[in-house]
């Protein structure tokens, strides 16, 4: 079984991805070229003011992310792994990634110290901006979680990701409400893959819905708190849970990084 990350840029840049990168890029269903979070709907203006678009070149959406505070953005590790700070432009304050409310620039990228060790684990990164974000109605930080997600919690995914595997980004921010799938169930559904562990949480709504390419790094919010960062899945919406970095699990690492400590927590 193969698993796939959900960022879209490398695909656009690399017409013929080399085999080393192909594991993250090539899926079993390379189909349509339009769309959105599979099965989602337009998010209301201002309903996800923490959402950002990460753009290597302003005007090219690659990944989602979320505002943690004035200076820090959280995203997936695979969204920024190969980039220098100059290639991580952060678009805030908008439901249309091509029409920025504001553009912020990156001072430094902080990958999790155990990123991709083992494969697909610890896929989380923090981005420190060169200047403070100005908050307003459309631009706000999202609180970190204070407890683990529980069965029955409603979880809202937002993103500009495609509607079909390897499709292009949606113009308007999409949202999808999902439920929590306990890790042991999710692990069994994925046939006990070594790509899943305690640093992940799974979400699912129904077949035909789910995160897709371009949603990577984006936020999952429950009860007003950031509970997940889009990591990987079986693209897209083909009836399996989506797998995200479990923000609650990484709280110590996040707090430590933001306070300037380089200690490795995992």
Residue 72, interface with ligand NAG (CB under 6 A)? no
Identify which of 170, 174, 161, 153 has the alpha carbon closest to the alpha carbon of residue 223.
153
Cα 49 to Cα 66: distance, rounded to the nearest angstrom? 9
Active-site entry in 61, 110, 112, 123: 123
User: Among this protein's residues, is 216 annotated catalytic?
Assistant: yes
User: Among this protein's residues, is 123 annotated catalytic?
Assistant: yes
Judged by DSSP in three states, 87 sits in: helix
Binding residue count for ligand NAG, defined by CB under 6 A: 8
Which residue number, 70 or 143, has a Cβ lying nearer to ligand NAG? 70
Contact call for residues 43 and 229 (beta carbons, < 8 A): no
User: Among this protein's residues, is 195 annotated catalytic?
Assistant: no
H-helix or E-strand spanning residue 91: strand 89-92
Which residue number, 175 or 234, has a Cβ lying nearer to ligand NAG? 234
Of 16, 18, 191, 192, which lies in the binding site for ligand NAG, with binding defined by CB under 6 A? Answer: 191
Paired tokens of 108: 């430094």
Cα 185 to Cα 29: distance, rounded to the nearest angstrom? 25
Active-site entry in 7, 205, 211, 216: 216
Of 117, 132, 194, 206, which lies in the binding site for ligand NAG, with binding defined by CB under 6 A? Answer: 132
Residues that bind ligand NAG (CB under 6 A): 1, 70, 132, 189-191, 234, 240
- What residues are annotated to the active site? 78, 123, 216
């Amino acid at each position: 079984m193969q698993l796939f990350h959900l960022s879209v840029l490398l695909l656009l840049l690399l017409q013929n991805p080399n085999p080393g990168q192909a594991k993250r890029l090539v899926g079993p269903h390379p189909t349509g070229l339009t769309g959105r979070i599979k099965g989602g709907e337009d998010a209301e203006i201002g309903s996800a003011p923490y959402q950002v678009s990460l753009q290597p070149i302003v005007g090219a959406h690659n990944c989602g992310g979320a505002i943690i505070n004035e200076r820090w953005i959280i995203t997936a590790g695979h969204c920024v792994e190969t980039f220098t700070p100059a290639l991580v432009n952060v678009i805030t304050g908008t439901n249309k990634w091509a029409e920025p409310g504001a553009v912020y620039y990156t001072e430094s990228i902080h990958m999790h110290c155990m990123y991709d060790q083992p494969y697909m684990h610890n896929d989380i990164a923090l981005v420190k901006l060169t200047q403070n974000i100005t908050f307003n109605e459309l631009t706000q930080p999202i609180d970190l979680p204070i407890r683990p997600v529980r069965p029955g919690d409603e979880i809202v995914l937002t993103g500009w990701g495609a509607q079909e595997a390897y499709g292009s980004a949606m113009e308007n921010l999409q949202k999808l409400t999902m439920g929590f799938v306990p890790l042991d169930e999710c692990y069994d559904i994925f046939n006990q893959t070594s790509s899943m562990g305690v640093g992940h949480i799974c979400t699912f709504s129904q077949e035909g819905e789910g995160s897709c390419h371009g949603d990577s790094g984006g936020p999952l919010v429950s009860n007003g708190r950031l509970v997940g960062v889009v990591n990987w899945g079986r693209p897209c919406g083909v009836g399996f849970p989506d797998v995200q970095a479990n923000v609650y699990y990484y709280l110590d690492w996040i707090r430590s990084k933001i306070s300037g400590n380089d200690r490795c927590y995992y």
